[in-house]
Amino acid sequence: MAVPSFLARERIVARPGFNRWLIPPAALAVHLSIGQAYATSVYKVALVEHFDTGLTQIGIIFSIAIVMLGISAALFGTWVDRNGPRAAMFTSAVFWVSGFLVGSLGIYTEQLWLLYLGYGFLGGIGLGIGYISPVSTLIKWFPDRPGLATGMAIMGFGGGALIASPLSRQLMNWYDPGYDPAVAGTVPSGNAVAGLFLTLGLIYLVFMMFGAFIIRVPAADWRPHGFDPASVKAKSLVTTENVSANNAIKTPQFWLLWTVLFCNVTAGIGILEQAAPMIQDFFRTGETSTVLAATAAGFVGLLSLFNMAGRFVWSSTSDYIGRKPIYMVYLGVGIVLYIILATLGSTATWIFVVTAAIIISFYGGGFATVPAYLRDLFGTYQVGAIHGRLLTAWAAAGIAGPLIINGVLDSRGTPGQLTAGDYRPALFIMVGLLAVGFVANLLIKPVADKWFEPKPTDVPTAAAAPERSTVR
């Protein structure tokens, strides 16, 4: 699929002397925008009341968005690698903003299917393309620190709610003066949420276009000063060979890592999607919670901060201790933390907050580390496309996570009357999923030689050799 010339990869090749540290701000502009997906819990109850439906029906909006994220990332991964990040970021902005506009119309007209179509379907496509758009580029700019690079690329997605949560709260108060987030029990009107969607769409359009037009890709022969490509082989599981996207999905390593990501994401996404009402329910006495709506929204922002920090800190740490050991931490320690949350989380607010925050940092770290894990196993040749296909695990988790927690909660009571005990069955299900992911990670071994691409010296035609070193 051809793109307009002003979006073409050839137009954004960096000139000699370009500072690679100018690339992360472009990635953050896009990822902070699409990271709003993690702030949906702030207006979830408002949508339940506006459409007079249940948590599961509203949770489907988020599930559709995550499913479309995985599908679009898988389908367009090779297209993104071939056409470059500017075309991908521009396309992502168009879909993401369109999702908000159509979703706003759906809320105004009380047509839930338009919210599914807009924020879920269209917005989800924007999420998928935007999510993978800077990853391959940053890995190529930082071959000496792939964990750091992917952490920078993806931490913005985890931090999106840190901005969107308080901003959404204030905008809904502006559109509906009767809603006071500082007063327990107040819920914004549906029209306030519709106005919020319209405003956020326009704001994100500006920021995402800014990122699209400042992004650059390195020249084919560019290397960081003093970097020796052979040095990456020093760590376990790291290859200097390359595997194509089509061959990668035929290997057991791909599907084991798919299982690891699915389990880690399913466990974390249940908390994020239900964060604001969850902390209120854990500390509820009768029909009144000791946690105010404003405090719950602040908790969403705190989780976003840990989600964002975990993506950078844990992924960067993996450059030193390795990808496989860091996933043993995410999954193994995560099991212990979920048990603590289920059994002791309601005894003290600080226990709940600290435990949930660390869990979410592992959730974010898992996302940020997986592109570097893929680079270690399969090389840099089509890592963006492989990453896109692996994100189908996120799509599956986007269905499983909310369905598990919303299904359990719908069977236990109604929103506004749930307590900590109602959440325990779902939390113990998450413990089981993390155990499965832990075992899958232990089974990952180096990729067999038969899947490697021929080296340039083995290719009969001279034209094919430089093609492998370009951004595709």
Residue pLDDT, tens place only, 249-266: 999 999 999 999 999 999
Please say if the pLDDT value at position 439 is more than 80.
Answer: yes
On the question of pLDDT at 344 being above 60, the answer is yes
Q: What pLDDT is recorded for position 415? A: 66
- Mean predicted confidence (pLDDT) in 233-244: 77
In this prediction, residue 225 carries a pLDDT of: 83
pLDDT at position 463 over 60: no
Give the closest residue to 317 by CA, choosing from 381, 364, 265.
364
- 289: three-class secondary structure by DSSP: strand
- Per-residue pLDDT at 231: 65
pLDDT at 459: 44
Asked whether the predicted pLDDT for residue 468 surpasses 60, the reply is no
Look at residue 284 in the predicted model and tell me its pLDDT.
Answer: 84
Segment among 72-81, 278-287, 311-320 with least mean pLDDT: 278-287
Residues 195-216 have pLDDT tens digits of 999 999 999 999 999 999 999 9
When pLDDT is cut at 50, 70 and 90, the band that residue 462 belongs to is: very low
Alpha-carbon span 351 to 45, nearest angstrom: 25
Q: Distance between CA atoms of 133 and 154, rounded to whole angstroms?
A: 10
55 vs 203, more confident: 203
For a pLDDT cut of 90, what percent of the chain falls above it? 51
388-409: per-residue pLDDT in tens? 999 999 888 878 888 888 888 8
Does residue 2 have a pLDDT over 80? no
235-448 shares the fold of 1-219: yes
Q: What pLDDT score was predicted for residue 125?
A: 96
124 falls in which pLDDT band (50, 70, 90)? very high
Residue 184 has pLDDT above 80, yes or no: no
Least Cα distance to 133 among 77, 192, 55 occurs for: 77
The per-residue pLDDT for 395 is 83
Q: Given pLDDT bands bounded at 50, 70 and 90, which one contains residue 235?
A: low
Assess whether pLDDT exceeds 90 at residue 421: no
**Quick check: 331 and 434 in contact, CB under 8 A?**
yes
Q: Given this model, what pLDDT does residue 269 score?
A: 82
Once rounded to an integer, what is the mean pLDDT over residues 133-161? Answer: 83
Looking at CATH, the fold of the domain delimited by 235-448 is given as: Growth Hormone; Chain: A; (1.20.1250)
Q: Which of 272, 263, 274 is nearest to 406 (CA)?
A: 274
Which H or E element spans position 284? strand 284-285
Angle between helices 420-442 and 252-273 (to 10 degrees): 160
Distance, CA of 226 to CA of 442 (rounded, Å): 34
The pLDDT of residue 467 is above 70: no
| Rounded Cα–Cα distance for residues 278 and 270 (Å) | 10
For the chain, give the mean pLDDT: 87
Which pLDDT value is given to residue 464?
35
Instruction: Write b or e for each residue in 384-404: b if 16 or more Cβ atoms lie within 10 A of its Cβ, otherwise e.
Output: bbbbbbbbbbbbbbbbbbbbb
Q: Please state the domain extents for the chain.
A: 1-219, 235-448
Q: What is the 3-state secondary structure (H, E, C) of 361-381?
A: HHHHHHHHHHHHHHHHHHCCC
pLDDT at residue 141 is higher than 60? yes
Average pLDDT, integer, range 61-74: 89
The more confident residue out of 96 and 81 is 96
In this predicted structure, the answer to whether residue 311 has a pLDDT above a threshold of 50 is: yes
The answer to whether domain 1-219 has CATH 1.20.1250.20 is yes
Predicted pLDDT of residue 470: 36
Q: What percent of the chain has pLDDT over 70?
A: 94
Q: 92-106, 188-202, 274-288, 442-456 — which is least confidently predicted?
A: 274-288
